[in-house]
A and B are shown apart, each in its own frame.
Chain A
Amino acid sequence: MKDRIVGQVKRVNGPVILIKDVTDAAMMEMVRIGEQQLIGEVVKLHDGSATVQVYEDATGICPGDNVYGSGMSLSVELGPGLIGTIYDGIQRPLEKLMGVSGAYISRGVTFPALDHEKKWPFVPTVEVGANLTRGMVLGEVLETERVMHKIMVPPSIDECVVANIVGEGSYTVEDIIATVVLPDGREEKLTMTQRWPIRVPRPVHDRLPLAQPLITGLRVIDSLFPLAKGGTVAIPGGFGTGKTMTQHSIAQWCDADIIVYIGCGERGNEMTDVLREFPQLIDPRTGQSLMERTLLIANTSNMPVSAREASIYTGITMAEYYRDQGYHVAIMADSTSRWAEALRELSGRMEEMPAEEGFPAYLPTRIAQFYERAGLMQSLSGETGSVSIIGAVSPPGGDFSEPVTQHTKRFVRCFWGLDRSLASSRHFPAISWIDSYTEYLAEVQPWWSQHSEGTWQINRQKIMELLQKEVRLQQIVKLVGPDALPDSQNFILEVCTLFKTAFLQQDAFSEIDRFCSVGKQVRMLDLILEYYQRGSDAIAKGVPMVKIRRLKVIQEIARMRLTIENEDLAAFDKLQLRLERSIDQLGGIYED
């Protein structure tokens, strides 16, 4: 790496470095700067000079320092061993770095992303003589208890014939596991790893229409604003409104096969929290530790800003790699605003013309390109896999009209807007039922219909209508007080209040409530609508509303999310029966 000098430093302005006397550097080429060998990437070439963005703190770099070319674009190493590992924005394994440089991340340290010593149990799935095309699977490795890692022909090889393949056994990611012959007669040796440039989407066979919801276990999402597998969603919210907590919850309990969690310019302790908590949590679906399906990227707010810019791409490339193996992958990007700000900072230092609020004019293009990498795909080998993107947005001042939120809105189809006033009153998740929307209803409706005896869509609509009515009624109450409303309308307020405490709120710290099964969600919504129906009937018969809301059973409904276990659906039958009886009894008293 130190042999090919591509130029010398001319000027240093923070993470942006101008290089002079440039000979043969290529766009997006990864370079090393100075004797400290800091990692950088060529982002601009202009006659004889180049602009390089450095991924590490630039202190000490001098005009005249050599810049060395690597001949590669900034790329990631893909293969068994990614899962359970925590990387920085340019895929350096943080645990290994700690071994070398201690508690603080020092500069110029590199480490291969994958463990090159560890042996993996490889099982070939093709034989000598097999004709393979790019992306096809030639063997498997059990990467974790729940992830069967498919070893694929790298997309750079269009077509080949297997000349040799190793038998079942243990191999490192560097060992040659197969030799293939290309159509022109050249031989190529394959290992279990491949490299892929992070800024280029991995090729697929076809994009498929979305059909299944990504079940998150959060009721307000699944029941009101569902996301489809392969879909995109933005979670905007001011500080402390619950973006990170929501993403942690989804990363823990959603029904994706693989989770890629990107801490992009956020807090160090939050990543420590994930590292500490995930291995101990058991996935209710597989009974295995949640770490067995999770990859982490941590480029915290105090780590270099260019690596923050790269972290988003590093993450999505790894996600695509598992998608190609036929898995449903969900990416949490916390926060895409920090990524956009990194773009802004770098652009400013390159003295580019700014557009809105100092952001570069290409911001919308970059956002669009990122979200376009989501989708449900048929991979080159014919497998179906998906990448869903869940991107947090941190608008300055919590104001959604700022450029990053606005442009993101253009390119995502689902929007979970967090509301500061909900968060202040500790209504969590603080997802606003007024600002949020989803465009995936049509896609996921058949699935939900199957899982709710057909009631999902109609129930969802009923409750959304009640919530809309509530807004109007609240306005009246604010002017003239609640006494001015007839009981029938006051009861709508009452039911909505109950719906908020009993259904929309979810306690991330309660063992029972932190994840809600599909069955439980359906029954809970049923029950609340049943309450509305029977209560309204009783009020029409003259029962005063206060009597209804004081019923003991209402207290039980209010706490059912915390008391009834996910699988204990029989408890809902009992609750329903008690509700019916209690209201009937009341009705009985007032009938005569």
Chain B
Amino acid sequence: MRTKEETLLVHTDRLLLSGREYRGTSRIDGPLVYMRNTHPVGYGELVEITAPDGTHRSGQVLETSDEVVVVQVFEGTEGLNLPGTGMRFMGEPLTLPVSEQMLGRVMNGLGKSRDGSTIPQGAVEKDVNGQPINPTAREYPRDFIQTGISVIDGMTTLIQGQKVPIFSGNGLDHNKLAAQIARQAKVRGSSGDFCIVFAAMGVKHDVAKYFIDSFEESGVLDNVALFLSLADDPSIERTITPKTALTLAEHLAFDKGKQVLVIMTDMTNYCEALREIGTMRGEIPSRKGYPGYLYSNLAELYERSGKILGRGGSITQLPILTMPNDDISHPVPDLTGYITEGQIVFDRSMQARGIYPPINCLPSLSRLMKDGIGEGMTRGDHPHLANQLFASYSHVKDVQNLASVIGEEELTSLDKQYLEFGNFFENKFVNQSFTEDRSIEQTLDIGWEALSKLPSEELQRLSDDEIAEHYGK
């Protein structure tokens, strides 16, 4: 047992010892390096690693004890060896110096320059792990974002400060959609200060290039901060990239009052990198080998969106993930859906039929739209109209199934009308071009045009007044 004086001494020692370099590690395993005989090192501390060739890398303490410290190295362990690797434990968590000047720059997953140019160092250092927002300090998001895309604005309305992922599959048009949203999104009647934070995890160079080109074309590149950790970068770097990006986003939104759109792609790669570390450490996995804490881990990212009372700004998150095998029950989309405030779900068969954006609105959802649409926000008939379109379109699916068994000719005349409605809905309402920017009124009017293919007594989710005003007009 130690006395108080001794305790104090230990703390002073620790302060003095942080930053001191140790050489020679005891084990290297994947992205993990084990170090013995250090001073007591804190959980989660930032580590600076010196490779045998003299270059520096950074890492974080994953586990600490009085015998051994486990460090994950964000740039990977390639080129490290046991005797020649040095480590400094910095006595503080991993931080990012943030500043507005990071907008317009291309950085790696740790916020360092990718092209050798210097990144302006901000005066404010922020812990990249963030801290949970006190629910009483949140402001409930309710400002409607017009994306100009009917199926989103009409059916799964985006709200400023919401987190909505795109559930896609390999080869589908998710990048195109994200680029279109980034270009067209606006809150009507507000001249807010917009910017974009873009985080790429494990995606190919051409995907990153696609986004950069598209930002450039729409003239917003100066307002975009890019954090790229691409397919050929060490996979471990992907685990820190979204945190770095969100740390800057928080600064821009909650210290500078900006409306920040965060695009993160591809979350599946992020989760796979986490799985890699978990497996390496011999952790007990849960479903499909993913760590049991994947839900909490993802929540720590996704919950860093929203609005805070009295701060002006907002963080809207648009994570993109590819569902392995298009399987929505795969742990990555599944756990994501349990955390985010809705989802936009892509459908391969719609893309095959040439529909862009290939969004199936039935499994898609916006949980926050209830407070952001209607009279004074979009239009009075919007809530019921959306509801009716959902109900009718879902009936179309039943009719299509039936038709595939008994043949279209055998359908009742009412069911045939439903098929006609369904065609119109998919080809005129959902389908639009990459450059088409529809106003919410246009969107709703096309919705009514679709419903006019059905007899009015089928429209039970709409009130008589709404039908009188809009039906068949």
- Contact between B367 and A240 (Cβ–Cβ < 8 Å)? yes
- Contact between A344 and B292 (Cβ–Cβ < 8 Å)? yes
* A-side contacts of B365, CB under 8 Å: 240
Which residues from 309 to 352 on chain B have a C-beta closer than 8 Å to any C-beta of chain A?
Answer: 309, 311, 329-331, 334-335, 337-339, 341-343
- Contact between B1 and A62 (Cβ–Cβ < 8 Å)? no
Most chain A CB within a 10 A radius of its CB, from B44, B135, B363? B135
With A60-B93, A425-B362, A483-B410 known as contacts, the answer to whether A305 contacts B293 (CB < 8 A) is yes
B386: nearest residue on chain A (CB-CB)? Answer: A426
- Contact between B254 and A62 (Cβ–Cβ < 8 Å)? no
* B-side contacts of A161, CB under 8 Å: none
A562: nearest residue on chain B (CB-CB)? Answer: B463
A360: nearest residue on chain B (CB-CB)? Answer: B284
- Chain A residues touching B, range: 35 or more
A58 to B42, CA, bound (A): 9
Q: Chain A interface: which of B102-110, B138-146, B192-200, B230-238? A: B138-146
- Contact between A425 and B135 (Cβ–Cβ < 8 Å)? no
- Contact between B137 and A64 (Cβ–Cβ < 8 Å)? no
Q: Chain A interface: which of B63-71, B183-191, B208-216? A: B63-71
Most chain B CB within a 10 A radius of its CB, from A10, A21, A103, A559? A103
- Contact between B93 and A59 (Cβ–Cβ < 8 Å)? yes
Chain A: minimal CB distance from B86 (Å): 21
- Contact between A98 and B134 (Cβ–Cβ < 8 Å)? yes
- Contact between B7 and A66 (Cβ–Cβ < 8 Å)? yes
Q: Mask for A74-99, Cβ within 8 A of B = 1, else 0?
A: 00000000000010000000110110
- Contact between A425 and B394 (Cβ–Cβ < 8 Å)? yes
Tally the A-B contacts, defined by beta carbons under 8 Å.
Answer: 217
- Contact between B457 and A239 (Cβ–Cβ < 8 Å)? no
A218 lies within 8 A of chain B by Cβ: no
B335: nearest residue on chain A (CB-CB)? Answer: A396
User: How many chain B residues have a CB neighbour from A under 8 Å?
Assistant: 82
Q: Mask for A398-426, Cβ within 8 A of B = 1, else 0?
A: 11000000000000000000000000111
* A-side contacts of B239, CB under 8 Å: none
A585 lies within 8 A of chain B by Cβ: no
- Contact between B135 and A272 (Cβ–Cβ < 8 Å)? yes
Which residues from 243 to 296 on chain A have a C-beta closer than 8 Å to any C-beta of chain B?
Answer: 263, 265, 267-269, 271-273, 275-276
With A23-B1, A275-B135 known as contacts, the answer to whether A12 contacts B293 (CB < 8 A) is no
- Contact between B387 and A98 (Cβ–Cβ < 8 Å)? no
- Choose from A298, A301, A397, A479 the contact partner of B329 (Cβ within 8 Å): A397
A18 lies within 8 A of chain B by Cβ: yes
- Contact between A59 and B129 (Cβ–Cβ < 8 Å)? yes
Q: List 27 A-B contacts (CB under 8 A).
A: A59-B43, A59-B93, A59-B129, A60-B42, A60-B92, A62-B14, A98-B136, A103-B134, A105-B134, A238-B334, A240-B337, A265-B295, A269-B138, A272-B139, A298-B135, A301-B296, A301-B339, A302-B133, A303-B132, A341-B295, A345-B292, A358-B292, A398-B329, A426-B390, A479-B406, A483-B410, A509-B383
Known: A344-B292, A348-B283. 9 other contacts (CB 8 A): A11-B65, A59-B44, A62-B64, A98-B136, A103-B308, A104-B131, A104-B134, A268-B133, A302-B296
Which A residues contact B (CB, under 8 angstroms)? 5, 8, 10-14, 18, 20-21, 23, 35, 57-66, 86, 94-95, 97-98, 101-106, 238-240, 263, 265, 267-269, 271-273, 275-276, 298, 300-303, 305, 338, 341, 344-345, 348, 354, 357-358, 394, 396-399, 424-427, 477-483, 501, 509, 550, 555, 558-559, 562
Top 9 A-B pairs, shortest CB-CB distance: A397-B329, A425-B394, A301-B299, A11-B65, A59-B44, A239-B337, A302-B303, A103-B137, A104-B131
